[in-house]
Structure 1
Amino acid sequence: MAFEEGPDFNLTTYHHSLLDWSEDSISFVPSFLDYPYTLHDAIAGYECWTRDQDQANLIHTPPSTTPAVAPPTTSPPSLPQPEFSKKRKLPTSPTPLDKAAAHENRRRTVADSGDEGDGVSEEDAEIARKQGNGRKGERKGNGGNSGNGNKEVRWAEHLLNPCATAIEAANYSRVHHLLYVLRELASTSGDANHRLAAYGLRSLTRHLSSAGIAAAVGVPAQGSGPADDSPSFASTEPKLFRSAIIKFHEVSPWFALPNSLGNASILQAVTLDSNQRPRPLHVVDVGVSHGIQWPTLLDALSRRPGGVPALVRITVAGAATPPGPFSAAPLGYDFSSHLLRYAKSIDLNLRIDRADTLEPQTMSLARSETLVVCAQFRVGHGGPDDRTAFLRSVRELNPDLVVLAEVDGGGAGETDGRFPAEFGRRSGLLWKFLDSTSAAFKGRDCAERRVVEGEAARILEWGAAADEGCERWRGRMVGLGFREEWFGEDALEAGRALLRKYDGNWETRMAGAAVGLWWKGHRVSFCSLWKPHTRSQ
């Protein structure tokens, strides 16, 4: 079904939102080729940011004039490798966690001998209290530092992952002990370790409840943990949801970089189609942007030297994939009317549809249009068979271009399916997200950060292709009849310009023809371009 243009809206009420696209909003929707995703004006005045803080903490790159998009070069382009910040040395003296682990080994040995019950000793409780006190300073906002002042210490995983292993081994005494320590340290407003402990504790508690063994390890009723009432996308009020996703794109490249690369490549596909007015453009949106990705593309199309497409269609087809983190939106949120209004303000003919499947008969495809499928962070949910089936349906659409972005777990996808291994991979991915948002929000706790982190934490239960790397996805695409394409230089330059405005721990690395996004030397995601080997006309 097609969405008609929505009614007028109060621009004063929604002046902080990128989705309020009107005649006045064009001033802060710059081209992604000039100054990608610079939404400084859109976030000014949010509750945990002030203008002085923005100017002191955000690095702004002056707009530059970028040449028109050119066809891909024959030789593989590469992105410059930014210099890493020096890593801090790990402390040589025992940390509170080391002491806790050593004491736990002693306590467990005694417990196994039958001389001690399942209770927690006074020394354990004191260690937990001391580590818990260390997190209070983080609530005042000191970046991504852990309670002991060292960014590289990931103590939460050294409690969560052994707990998952103990659950699998039915070692209830150890599970009881580790859950107690986690409850003492968990906090959704502490540093990245404390927040990971909170979300991991909730996930483990739910796993124990679903397995019917919660009572055996003394797990309290659900709803008593610090993360149990944390917001998610679906549970958030629409206005806060809008401000959260806009602000997250402003301070983090997690989704903004793949969006920028995808938009630049779509514009290139339109430009290469004809030197005159291009064919109508049809973008199938299978992503998590909730409309945020498209204003910069529409703006660039409206300023295209060869003329704008006679019609731009966006078909939102997220329902064609299994649900997962970042895929949901709150009831009452609809970006369509705002996006249509913005398109009208720049004299661009836009149509927005929705589709529950990718069957050609439901997509209203036309031979005369340039068809692009943009699949961003949605295909990786469900099992391997689900991923293959979806990509096969994409191939049957016979598109001109496919933009595929996914989490890069670095592995080959060979898993034993056991709970500890799966939980460990997912908690590792969540750690990178929470650690990067600590830097992105400068350690400040605010409603927008809680929304995006609460949604990201769903990966611990919903799962994702956190075990699969770029090579596994490449093999899957090639096997289905796609060939990989290189990004054009303009797309790569847009990515470089975008990344310069974020924290210095972010970097991009080429993974063959794909562009990989890394955080502190660890893989996060990749973005790649694909075309069918042979495309019927």
Structure 2
Amino acid sequence: MRAELTKSTPSLYLRNLNLLNNPQAPLSGALRGCLGSLDGACIEKLLLHCASALESNDVTLAQQVMWVLNNVASSSGDPNQRLTSWFLRALISRASRLCPTAVGFNGTSTIPRRLMSVTDLAVYVDLIPWHRFGFCASNGAIYKAIEGYSKVHILDFSITHCMQWPTLIDALAKRPEGPPSLKITVPNFRPPVPPLLNVSIEEVGFRLGNFAKFRDVRFEFDVIDDSPCSLSSENHFNESPRFPFQSLLDQLSSLSFDHSNGEALVINCQNWLRYLCDEPNDRQSGRLGEESSRRDAFLDIIKELDPCIVTVVDEDSDLSGPSLTSRITSCFNYLWIPFDALETFLPKDSSQRIDYESDIGHKIENILEFEGCQRIERLESGAQLTHRMKNMGFLSAPFCEETVGEVKSLLDEHASGWGMKREEDMLILTWKGHNSVFATAWVPASFDG
């Protein structure tokens, strides 16, 4: 990817930045040297230069770098320019917290919050295989794990409003021995992140029930009421999240499953574990002692439930670094992937493309602007997750060849840049050879099903 230097008009969210709007602003030699070679590598250096200035409270230098970046960033340009525009927006907002009068920006999120219809969500999921890859890999592993069971109970922790399950219900309806009865349980709490839906979780369950009935699959849908004060879809990243974690653990601990009566318990985690804070200052007392984190405490609970399989899918990058500069490096070298993929088949002014990129912008905003409990995007890589699962007493459940074949068939429906590879205990979705999403499957070391 390569971004050409443009003399674009500053966008609305930059117009109060005095130095950014001053083309005569004095630039250091290092900044002036970048003006002739603003490719991806140089943009990354500028972003890091800006981050270092912000971390050292050098607002003047940060403004100088932002002026250069503003002449590169374009929300309607090439993938590099579009990505840069979101980074610049987040850095400006962060700078406003250091020196509001100098920067002239109030720090409030200016990214529109959109609510999708169920139909819109289906189109969103189908746009690129970012989510469908994980659905397909997980459903294949689940289907194999529940062979011979007459009852299946899925605890679903995901951000995609149960879009994964119609495909599994359809597969179960065709099972040679007949479909099992299926129960899906979801938590009442959902992290306040895109995609957001304009119907309630109960309505989602009702629609799933109708589909299961149409496919002659006995179906039940349940919601764990884990918090009377859970976040609504209107909450913004810059509001402190009130994750009802202890309530969720208590609810999970109280659930009972009759494994001796032919019931298979499945735990499904899709883009969800990252929202369980793993900061050292967020250590929880409890079963694992003072050194256990929320993420580990959750995994400890679900291991004790003795599921026949646990599926974990997420984006394959470490975006949880403690410093702003480390997060910029990881984020810039990872999130170019969806921007580049969308470039291959959607026009620059496509509303679908703009909306999808805006959802990625929410992620960038949270990763770069906030610290402490307000930074809820704390993604760990597939390798880190694998290490964590093994330390927690889980064993890898390899994906069978049939599942691998189904994933490959899915990717054939999308652009030629998408691929898949196996890496230790994972299936990994790739774009032009770069890791994007990982899928894993696990069983507790003590599982005797």
Q: TM-score, normalised by structure 2?
A: 0.75
- The number of residues matched between the two structures is 381
- The one-letter code matched in structure 1 to 2:121 is I
- Cα 1:328–1:394 change in 2 (3 A) is farther
Partner SS state of residue 383, structure 1: coil
Post-superposition CA distance 1:270-296 (Å, at most 9, x none): 22xx2xxx3211111111221211111
Cα distance between partner residues in 1 of 2:443 and 2:393: 9
How far apart are 1:429 and its partner, in Å? 2.8
1:307 aligns with 2:201: no
Query: Which residue matches 1:351?
Result: 220
Distance of aligned partners of 1:257 and 1:421 in 2 relative to their CA distance in 1, 3 Å threshold = same
Instruction: Flag structure 1 segments of 5+ consecutive residues without an equivalent.
Output: 1-87, 98-115, 125-147
**Residue in structure 2 matching 1:237, options 80, 93, 115:** 115
1:121 paired to 2:24: yes
| Higher percent of residues as strand | 2
Query: Of the candidates 329, 337, 346, which is equivalent to residue 206 of structure 2?
Result: 337
Shift of 1:123: 10
User: Structure 1 residues 208, 298: CA separation in 2 closer, same or farther (over 3 Å shift)?
Assistant: same
Query: 2: distance between equivalents of 1:517 and 1:436?
Result: 13
* Aligned-partner SS, 1:316: strand
C-alpha distance after superposition, 1:439-471 (max 9, x if no partner): 3x42343333333322222222145444x4322
In structure 2, the CA distance between the partners of 1:284 and 1:169, relative to structure 1 (3 Å rule), is same
Q: Are the structure 2 counterparts of residues 324 and 156 from structure 1 closer, same or farther at C-alpha, using a change threshold of 3 Å?
A: farther
Which residue is equivalent to 1:215?
101
Query: Which residue matches 1:514?
Result: 426
**Residue number in structure 2 paired with 1:483:** 395
Given candidates 81, 87, 105, the residue that maps to 1:194 is: 81
2:274 pairs, out of 355, 375, 380, with 380
> What secondary structure does 1:370 align onto?
strand
Per-residue CA deviations over 1:194-247 (Å, capped at 9, x if unaligned) read 32222212211221233x32323x344457xxxx5433xxx32332xx344322
State the distance in 2 between where 1:506 and 1:214 align: 43
Residues 259 and 452 (structure 1 numbering): CA distance in 2 closer, same or farther, change over 3 Å?
same
Q: Which residue of 1 aligns with 2:135?
A: 259
C-alpha spacing 1:155/1:351, structure 2 compared with 1 (3 Å):
farther
Partner of 1:497: 409
Q: Distance in 2 between matches of 1:202 and 1:365?
A: 48
Query: Cα distance, 1:364 vs. partner?
Result: 4.7
* Shift of residue 314, structure 1, vs aligned partner: 0.7
Distance (Å, rounded) in 2 between the aligned partners of 1:512 and 1:318: 34
For residues 447 and 364 of structure 1, the distance between their equivalents in structure 2, rounded to whole angstroms, comes to: 46
**Correspondence 1:417-436 to 2 at 5 A:** 417-436=322-341
From 271, 284, 303, give the equivalent of 2:155.
284
Distance 2:296 2:134 in 1: 21
Conserved 8 A contact 2:265-2:308: yes
Q: In structure 1, what is the Cα distance between the partners aligned to 2:60 and 2:146? A: 62
Pairwise CA RMSD:
3.3
Please, which of 294, 308, 313 is the counterpart of residue 400 of structure 1?
A: 308
* 1:208–1:175 Cα change, 3 Å: same
Q: TM-score, normalised on structure 1?
A: 0.64
Task: Call closer, same or farther: CA 1:494–1:280 in 2, change over 3 Å.
Answer: same
Query: Percent identity between the aligned chains?
Result: 25
In structure 2, relative to structure 1, the CA distance for the partners of 1:519 and 1:377 (3 Å cut) is same
What is the SS of the residue equivalent to 1:335?
helix
Note the alpha carbon deviations across 1:385-428, whole angstroms, 9 max, x for none: 232222122212111100011222279x8x5x122212332333
Aligned 8 A contact 2:395 2:443 in 1:
yes
3-state SS in 2 of match to 1:494: helix
Distance in 2 (alpha carbons) for counterparts of 1:188 and 1:362: 49
Partners of 2:96 and 2:105 within 8 A in 1 = no
Q: In structure 1, how many angstroms separate the alpha carbons of the residues matched to 2:116 and 2:317? A: 32
Cα distance change of structure 1 residues 371 and 512 upon mapping to structure 2, 3 Å threshold? same
Alignment of 1:453-464 (within 5 A): 453-460=357-364, 461=366, 462=375, 464=377
- Partners in 1 of 2:93 and 2:21 — Cα distance? 21
| 1:340 to 1:403, Cα distance in 2 relative to 1, 3 A | same
Q: Using a 3 Å threshold, how does the CA distance of structure 1 residues 253 and 220 change in structure 2: closer, same or farther?
A: same
AA aligned to 1:170 is N
Selected match of 1:316 from 173, 186, 192: 186
How far did residue 477 of structure 1 move?
0.8
Q: Could you tell me which residue of structure 2 aligns to residue 167 of structure 1?
A: 54
Cα distance in 2 for partners of 1:250, 1:160 equals: 32
Which SS does the other structure have where 2:436 is aligned? strand
More contact order relative to length (CA 8 Å, sep ≥ 6): 1
Structure with higher Rg: it is 1
Match of 2:236 in 1: none
Contact 2:20 2:67 in 1 (8 A): no
Letter in 2 for 1:236: R
8 Å Cα contact 1:283-1:373 kept in structure 2: yes
Matched letter for residue 414 of structure 2: Y
Distance, in Å, in 1 between the alignment partners of 2:67 and 2:199 is 37
Matches of 2:123 and 2:20, distance apart in 1: 50
* Gap regions ≥5 residues in structure 2: 7-18, 28-36, 227-247, 280-292, 367-374
| Mapped pair 1:366 → 2:258 | yes
Distance 1:117 1:459, change over 3 A: closer
- What is the rounded CA distance, in whole Å, between the counterparts of 1:300 and 1:518 in structure 2? 26
In 1, Cα distance between equivalents of 2:297 and 2:192: 17
2:232 aligns to what? none
In 1, Cα distance between the equivalents of 2:154 and 2:206? 17
> What residue number does 1:181 align with?
68
Deviations 1:495-516 (A, max 9, x none): 1111112122222111113101
Alpha-carbon distance between aligned partners in 2 of 1:443 and 1:463, rounded to the nearest angstrom: 32
Per-residue deviation, 1:474: 1.5
CA contact (8 A) 1:192 1:438 kept: yes
Instruction: Determine helix, strand or coil for the equivalent of 1:457.
Output: helix
| In structure 2, distance between residues paired with 1:393 and 1:453 | 36
Is the contact between residue 125 and residue 132 of structure 2 (CA under 8 Å) also seen in structure 1? yes
The answer to whether residue 272 in structure 2 is matched with residue 391 in structure 1 is no
Instruction: Output the amino acid matched with 1:378.
Output: W
Q: Does structure 1 conserve the Cα–Cα contact (< 8 Å) formed by 2:170 and 2:215?
A: yes
